[in-house]
Structure 1
Amino acid sequence: MPELTAAEQSVVTTALAYKGTGIPIPAHVMAELDEIAAPWPGRWLLPWEEGEPERVVELCAGPGGWGEGLETVLGVTCFDVIGVDIDKDACESARAAGHARICADIARLDPEHPALRWTRGVIISPPCPSFSTAGKRAGLLKANIGILCETIAHVGEAAGFIRLDEVCCAELFPDLEDDCPLCADLGYHEGYAPRSGATWAEVRATLDGLTDPRIGLMAEVAIWPLGLQAAGAPIAWMAMEQSSNLPEEVLDDLSIEFECADWFRTSWAVLEAADLGVASRRKRTFMIATRHKWADITPPTEALPVTAMAEALGWDEGERINTRGQRPLDPATGRAKGGNCFSADKPSWCLTGKARTWVRKRDGLRLTSAEAGLLVSFRATYPWRGSRSSQFQQAADVVCPAVAAFVLAAIHGINWEPLVRDYLFGLYHYDSLWGEYSLSA
């Protein structure tokens, strides 16, 4: 991890002196800390102390799905979460809802920044279009998968988590009692090979051959946790979300790198949001990894009660949604070609950015961004920002808070079911919600 200069360390020492006496750190000192720590908050330059919120980095953070799942659904407030996203509108939505955001490209940030040396957790949701059926699926091309997996392997080398085979040591030195002389000669530390010397910029440069640069953001799933670990941060857990089409080969290679770095457990599963009571369908791959305890993520054995779209939005039964306007009829079936209607008496179809064109067939009433948010388990008053198109795209891309709560509960040993049930009941079944907020206006 890069060291602070003497002048920068002096500012940190001054801030710690104030903190140690219980005197508030002066504004000018905090401003200097913020400048040194940029783009991270200056307070993160100060060592974490027992009783303080644990520091978490959230990458490709979007408008706040993970944060809502953690704080609003689970009621967990013992984390200091800083989110990073490149989308300005998504950052504004998150900030308006009370979630901290840095608007930046995560692939240009250094996981070994001095302000991150006390980070405990990483949450990351790389963009899905490269793997999703709604996109061009360039992430499924063999050549792209090969480049991505090769880069993931480079992460372990750059972080210094390649082990010498212990069997080899035993065979060469059968009477070995102390440290292996071969390991010592090769520069191994705690059983690991020395770091390759490649910078994170150089590791990321190996992705240059990808036909879609967004595919390369999957490598950040390994770069950030292992980069933090290599720098000595007390990183303890990671949570990831991606398209359900993410190749298992990529998941396997990620698991290998975490296992080589002695992470205690890596687990992944495909979760369907509707099975967790969310009023829309959304199937996504989630992966978690933990260093010091067992944590497992598997789909719930019993799905929560199904929530229909009409039920969630306070509509009568029998409503239908038109998704693509008037389309020519298929003479063989008498139905619109391509299928452009579905019943609101079931969970809605998976939202995409084009959900902004959805209308209630009976009266042509357009879906609003607030209603779109409800369908993916956000509260009715969530402060979406940006144009109508941008707001719908945010709702389409975001991690459903109810599903985020399920995943984070698995990591932290929280009984998720009653909390998710209560949260969804509050969203979808309180009559007063619809009396107070006219979402279709």
Structure 2
Amino acid sequence: MNHDLIVEGFHGPGGWAEGRRILGLTTRAIGMEWDAAACATATAAGHTVIRTDVAAYPTAPFKGRIVGKVDSPPCQAWSRAGKGLGLVDQPLVHQAVEDLSRGRDTRAKLLAACRDERSLLAAEPMRWHHDLRPEWICLEEVPDVLPLWRQYAAILRGWGYSVWVGILNAADYGVPQTRRRAILVASRVRSVTAPQPTHTQYPGNALFGESLPGWVSMAEALGWSAGQVINTRGDRKTSGGNEFSADGPAWCLTEKTRSWVRRNPATGETARITHAEAAVLQSFSADHPWQGSASRQFLQIGNAVPPLLAAHVLSAATGLPAPAVTTPTTFACAA
């Protein structure tokens, strides 16, 4: 059989898939996703998604077919914004990765010992890597998963893959948001390294070559006038840590972005952030066809991989030219 298929676990609403579109990667792709609203969004956007439990889906139907494997396991169990029980479960997840890399499926036993049932999903990609040995691999998760990705890297290098693993900030790739993520890029047919940044926090510094443009601001991406402020916590009595200027990139989006309020100090006017504006801050198009309730839409947006970041990571994995630096696509709204 020809290796002519990309398989994406934990597909979500289409962050990686939209990244493939940006990159011009036209290889046929199939995603797997459990959440019904995310499946509906991805399908409405034209992507092929199977609604299924990734951990229960067999690898055998894809034997000899996969060219690329992409995974962004759920981050809730690992994120410091939540209970962080995935950090408690970390030794069990490392054991699962080690066992799966040797073809031993101990997931049921290890899952019974986990504090958070989602923790072990971060080990799930190794089952596919062991069974199918794709040509290239991309993994993405919250920064606390970096030690796990380093374990993956050591195993993959032992199988002959070239691997890069580290932390990337989406703002360095033109996304109007300071979103840091643990990334793994691997290939068994080419040497890989980190994708080259296209933007910088400190423009004008050409010490290491041609100066890069500065980070894209929230106001720039959304077509707002300068000087506006974002309040992330509403009218709470406690002070500190709940406002930032829209003249820089947005803070990292989560499902709680639905409560963000834009305030114009010059006029006193306020407006709540819409899901379409939040999508633009993730580098989706303003008209991406989000499905489900308003809260489910914000959840999908907050959990998604920024497509522009995904495009650069996929470029590093596949060897396709990275997306060109362009001016931000602004969202048509009142300033």
TM-score by structure 2 length?
Answer: 0.89
Give the direction of change, closer, same or farther, for the CA distance of 1:309–1:147 in structure 2 (3 Å limit).
same
How far apart are residue 288 of structure 1 and its match?
A: 1.4
Give the direction of change, closer, same or farther, for the CA distance of 1:401–1:264 in structure 2 (3 Å limit).
same
How far apart are residue 426 of structure 1 and its match?
A: 5.2
Q: Aligned residue for 1:103?
A: 51
The answer to whether the 8 Å contact 1:368/1:439 transfers is no
1:207 aligns to what SS in structure 2?
helix
How far apart are residue 89 of structure 1 and its match?
A: 0.7
The 10-residue stretch of structure 1 (299-308 or 390-399) with the greater mean CA deviation from structure 2 = 299-308
Which of 222, 227, 236 lines up with 1:327 in the alignment? 236
Residue 149 (1) aligns with residue 94 (2): yes
The answer to whether the 8 Å contact 1:270/1:299 transfers is no
1:427 aligns to what SS in structure 2?
coil
Amino acid at match of 1:61: H
Q: Which residues in structure 2 correspond to 1:308-347 (within 5 Å)?
A: 308-328=217-237, 336-347=238-249
The answer to whether the 8 Å contact 2:174/2:198 transfers is no
Q: Aligned residue for 2:144?
A: 245
Q: Which residues in structure 2 correspond to 1:116-127 (within 5 Å)?
A: 116-127=63-74
How far apart are residue 297 of structure 1 and its match?
A: 2.0
2:165 aligns to what SS in structure 1?
strand
How far apart are residue 90 of structure 1 and its match?
A: 0.8
Which of 109, 129, 132 lines up with 2:79 in the alignment? 132
Amino acid at match of 2:68: G
The answer to whether the 8 Å contact 1:151/1:204 transfers is no
Aligned length: 319
The 10-residue stretch of structure 1 (348-357 or 291-300) with the greater mean CA deviation from structure 2 = 291-300
The answer to whether the 8 Å contact 1:151/1:207 transfers is no
TM-score by structure 1 length?
Answer: 0.69
In the TM superposition, what whole-angstrom CA distance separates every residue of 1:341-363 from its partner, at most 9, and x where no partner exists? 21111111111101101111232
Amino acid at match of 2:46: G
Residue 93 (1) aligns with residue 38 (2): no
Amino acid at match of 2:52: A
Which of 104, 119, 122 lines up with 1:215 in the alignment? 119
Q: Aligned residue for 2:169?
A: 272
Greater relative contact order (Cα 8 A, min sep 6): structure 1 or 2?
Answer: 2
Q: Aligned residue for 1:59?
A: 9
Residue 371 (1) aligns with residue 271 (2): no
1:117 aligns to what SS in structure 2?
coil
How far apart are residue 302 of structure 1 and its match?
A: 5.9
Over the matched positions of the two proteins, sequence identity in percent amounts to 36
Which of 73, 76, 83 lines up with 2:25 in the alignment? 76
Q: Aligned residue for 1:358?
A: 260
Give the direction of change, closer, same or farther, for the CA distance of 1:76–1:323 in structure 2 (3 Å limit).
same
2:155 aligns to what SS in structure 1?
helix
In the TM superposition, what whole-angstrom CA distance separates every residue of 1:381-437 from its partner, at most 9, and x where no partner exists? 111111111111111110001100110001121231xx2413xx2513xxxx62xxx
Q: Which residues in structure 2 correspond to 1:36-51 (within 5 Å)?
A: 47-48=1-2
Give the direction of change, closer, same or farther, for the CA distance of 1:316–1:123 in structure 2 (3 Å limit).
same
How far apart are residue 247 of structure 1 and its match?
A: 4.4
Amino acid at match of 1:74: L
* Segments ≥4 residues shifted beyond 4 Å: none
CA-based RMSD of the aligned residues comes to 2.0
Of the two, which has the highest radius of gyration? Answer: 1
Give the direction of change, closer, same or farther, for the CA distance of 1:302–1:387 in structure 2 (3 Å limit).
closer
Q: Aligned residue for 1:412?
A: 318
Amino acid at match of 2:214: P
User: Equivalents in 1 of 2:189, 2:321: separation in Å?
Assistant: 20
Residue 281 (1) aligns with residue 178 (2): yes
Amino acid at match of 1:421: V
The answer to whether the 8 Å contact 1:269/1:298 transfers is no
In the TM superposition, what whole-angstrom CA distance separates every residue of 1:77-102 from its partner, at most 9, and x where no partner exists? 1x110011111111111111111111
1:223 aligns to what SS in structure 2?
helix
Q: Structure 2, unaligned stretches of length 5 or more?
A: 201-212
User: Equivalents in 1 of 2:30, 2:250: separation in Å?
Assistant: 32
Q: Aligned residue for 1:421?
A: 325
The answer to whether the 8 Å contact 2:67/2:135 transfers is yes
User: Equivalents in 2 of 1:345, 1:152: separation in Å?
Assistant: 42
User: Equivalents in 1 of 2:151, 2:91: separation in Å?
Assistant: 11
Amino acid at match of 1:399: V
1:257 aligns to what SS in structure 2?
helix
In the TM superposition, what whole-angstrom CA distance separates every residue of 1:275-317 from its partner, at most 9, and x where no partner exists? 1121111100110121222112256386353111111111111
User: Equivalents in 1 of 2:101, 2:144: separation in Å?
Assistant: 25
Which of 391, 397, 403 lines up with 2:309 in the alignment? 403
User: Equivalents in 2 of 1:301, 1:361: separation in Å?
Assistant: 30
